[in-house]
Structure 1
């Protein structure tokens, strides 16, 4: 009898353990999909009004505990407020929402949100009839049952969560709360912050890049920012003892980029991959928003391609691009869904004046991540045949377009990618700049370089290898110049840079439409910060020129 009871107890214990492990696995594994793909989407539908906000906390080790409210009444934002780092606790923000036209006189709408331990009414003067209502995690709501047409632009219509003491909000109409949510064990540096939108979504119109009155156009190429959720930790800062040895990666990176933006005043910024450092970005949205906010506040158009680390955080390439497409001044596009990759597209820079003549075409292609056949081709992925076909078809069609045919000057073309082409490693190339590390190009050559030459592209530039910043001149069989292949150099302190005192840098391009000329140089983060490093003309009168 005793043995039977013992056996039954063991079986019940094993069953309880299995149930716990199953619940834990499902909660942590299968939740990744909506968090990775849809975390930025569900709360921003036009025509909805937020009527209530709450926060639930649950235990990770108790299979009977969950962070769910009645799904018929509440919608959960699929971001764990502890960013899946809590051994014991998880927490989620829930909202109630209703279509604007379905609101009744008895429905309450949210007029304001505050975060803190004390009632915001304390010390306030001129209080209205509405009181502040307390919610978990230090959330205070001011709600009203009154509903007027004039409220439409002031009531809260969307809610999101960002993370980190340095979190910023680049979306128009949104405001991020100064104080973090009041949680018991918030992760240091990655505290959760509520951000809200008032009124309907703002209409985002894409800017139209155009040559300046003097016929010039400046591009600033920023690569390998390696931004984190939170301030991040510096890797290989140079000089090592700068600022008393204190170095937060993202603030120093963004200060550098901001300074060069203000000095160079570019007409366009090109981000050539690894904007986000996947390993240190459990919320990639918060990381990516930091560079976007830097550009949005300066009203500078920008276009981006992805690197091998951009989708190693919480968001896929598709989800990140979906966010970028909705931001002000972004020219980034997902591109055709019938070909490999996300971010195969082009941008036309029009001639000066009130016309639609294209003076410069910029091509952007996704070089993917890691080799799909590591056994045979170690290292990194390569541009696929359907991408190359898309590029060639697009280039040929544009040459026949009216916007190109009616342009009276020499039309110029450039391309931007993240991972370098195999031809970058050709030691016979003439090189201007620094070649400090091995070229980590794909092991398989899909010959995209040949397609670039065939379609008349004068320069291609990449990122990826942080401490290579050179431009290499490719020549044809007759030793005639055919294509400049350049690196941007790494700009972010969240990525490596420890090669012989390497200072982070940014590449600048200047296109002169009147002379059909392309010049380029680099700017340093430390040292001779005002100097133009390795300034050179790579194209003149529409032709690739030698060193």
Structure 2
């Protein structure tokens, strides 16, 4: 556990969740502006970053890119990244060897990547540091792919004022942030739990372990229902140690308070567990705005179950959970005290549902470099807690549309990111969007009318 936070004198405490910044060394100005405006609007006591702050596959990191931890940096760069690098005019360096004696060595390339990571952090943390708001960060499936692993990224985060990531945590990205009561007694009235949810699964079942084979893009196109664009094995999960910690940390907090009781707690992580699908309702494939499930839920279509979801919830894509259920939600229920688990990862989702005795929710991407929803729906989630009843919190989205305006500075980019089609599944999801279907139907009608007119003219001749 780390240094203390405290409820305000009026008993309130505000948290901002920022998910999926997912940018390269030069963070886009729109992303920075959104963060700045959200802080100005919310006046938060804490900011939590829930993973994928780093766009690890960005061409800026092409020399040190890792598909998996434990690989040789830059050895297996994605074809998509190579194409993007050519477009951006970025050349991949050959490392120093007998044939390239003047090429930079791997140590030099890693130093360059460290400097780029610092530049990224400086970009999106700038408004947070300027406002003197404490912050904490956990990790997603893309952060490490730049070549700098989470333990070293933790060290870099701690270079910035206000960082609460402890140096002695169970693992990078897994730690507790106790929030003391407003009376100054030191009693823990609530806790924010940061959980490292892993990155990718492997054949051995150990998230992130080195692996020899990967799904290439052509295989993904052929079998998009069974493969993920980034990896054929699916996403990772919290480690067994992290699952045990979710229980033991409540024992420790109860001991600290002297009553042995678990404290009210909310957890934040990147990848959602399978229980998030229980916030949805399966529907026929032709249902408007339905999305197809991924991997273990492939072949099924879903919409939000409004009986369990809060008003204002949005479902924009499939839930990208791991293939394996490691019992995280069960562990939280067994430990007691936990009332909510919030994630990022799926950039177009912004719902909150109550199932299994917990609130399960999302924040969408707050970045403008990665795929996501329309500009006006990209945003940052605000939580308002009261020490007398932390579980009765209020949450809402602070969106670009609310804080800045309807459009970003580059709507062409955002339009493509919103409508990007990479496979048959995403094509079908697009066609279920009534506005997209209407445009395509209208275009086809106009085309058909033009053909008929042409045939009629030909007949008169």
The two structures have a TM-score, normalised by structure 2, of 0.60
1:436 aligns with 2:336: no
Q: Please report the RMSD computed on the Cα atoms of aligned residues, expressed in angstroms.
A: 2.6
* Contact in 2 for aligned 1:217/1:510 (Cα 8 Å): yes
1:404 deviates by 5.6
1:461 deviates by 0.4
1:390 deviates by 1.9
Q: Over alpha carbons, which structure has the higher Rg?
A: 1
User: Match of 2:238?
Assistant: 383
SS of equivalent residue, structure 1 residue 526 = helix
User: Match of 1:315?
Assistant: 148
| Partner Cα distance (1:365, 1:277) in 2 | 20
1:405 aligns with 2:255: no
Aligned residues: 295
CA-to-partner distance for each residue in 1:72-114, whole Å, 9 max, x for gaps?
Answer: xxxxxxxxxxxxxxxxxxxxxxxxxxxxxxxxxxxxxxxxxxx
| Partner Cα distance (1:406, 1:424) in 2 | 30
1:209 aligns with 2:5: yes
1:491 aligns with 2:366: yes
1:333 deviates by 2.7
Question: Structure 1 residues 393, 287: CA separation in 2 closer, same or farther (over 3 Å shift)?
Answer: same
Which structure has the higher relative contact order (CA within 8 Å, separation 6+)? 2
Counterparts of residues 108-507 of structure 1 (less than 5 Å)? 208-231=4-27, 250-280=28-58, 281-282=60-61, 283-333=116-166, 335-336=168-169, 341-373=171-203, 378-401=233-256, 403=257, 405=259, 411-426=263-278, 427=280, 430-432=308-310, 433-456=313-336, 457-475=338-356, 482-497=357-372, 499=373, 503-507=377-381
* Contact in 2 for aligned 1:301/1:330 (Cα 8 Å): yes
Question: Structure 1 residues 527, 507: CA separation in 2 closer, same or farther (over 3 Å shift)?
Answer: closer
| Unpaired runs of at least 5, structure 2 | 62-115, 204-213, 216-225, 227-231, 282-304, 407-461
SS of equivalent residue, structure 2 residue 39 = helix
Question: Structure 1 residues 438, 393: CA separation in 2 closer, same or farther (over 3 Å shift)?
Answer: same
1:406 deviates by 9.8
Question: Structure 1 residues 358, 220: CA separation in 2 closer, same or farther (over 3 Å shift)?
Answer: same
The two structures have a TM-score, normalised by structure 1, of 0.51
SS of equivalent residue, structure 1 residue 312 = helix
| Greater helix fraction, Structure 1 or Structure 2 | 2
| Greater strand fraction, Structure 1 or Structure 2 | 1
Which of 372, 377, 385 is the aligned partner of 1:511?
385
* Contact in 1 for aligned 2:375/2:400 (Cα 8 Å): no
* Contact in 2 for aligned 1:271/1:304 (Cα 8 Å): yes
CA-to-partner distance for each residue in 1:126-146, whole Å, 9 max, x for gaps?
Answer: xxxxxxxxxxxxxxxxxxxxx
| Partner Cα distance (1:411, 1:455) in 2 | 10
Question: Structure 1 residues 344, 503: CA separation in 2 closer, same or farther (over 3 Å shift)?
Answer: same
| Partner Cα distance (1:358, 1:311) in 2 | 33
1:279 deviates by 2.1
| Partner Cα distance (2:236, 2:51) in 1 | 14
1:292 deviates by 2.3
CA-to-partner distance for each residue in 1:404-450, whole Å, 9 max, x for gaps?
Answer: 6399xx94211111001111012356223001100000001101011
Question: Structure 1 residues 500, 230: CA separation in 2 closer, same or farther (over 3 Å shift)?
Answer: closer
CA-to-partner distance for each residue in 1:326-370, whole Å, 9 max, x for gaps?
Answer: 321111135545xxx522110111111332111111111111111
| Partner Cα distance (1:404, 1:309) in 2 | 40
SS of equivalent residue, structure 2 residue 323 = coil
CA-to-partner distance for each residue in 1:5-49, whole Å, 9 max, x for gaps?
Answer: xxxxxxxxxxxxxxxxxxxxxxxxxxxxxxxxxxxxxxxxxxxxx
| Partner Cα distance (1:420, 1:352) in 2 | 32
| Unpaired runs of at least 5, structure 1 | 1-205, 232-249, 476-481, 532-547
* Contact in 1 for aligned 2:174/2:194 (Cα 8 Å): yes
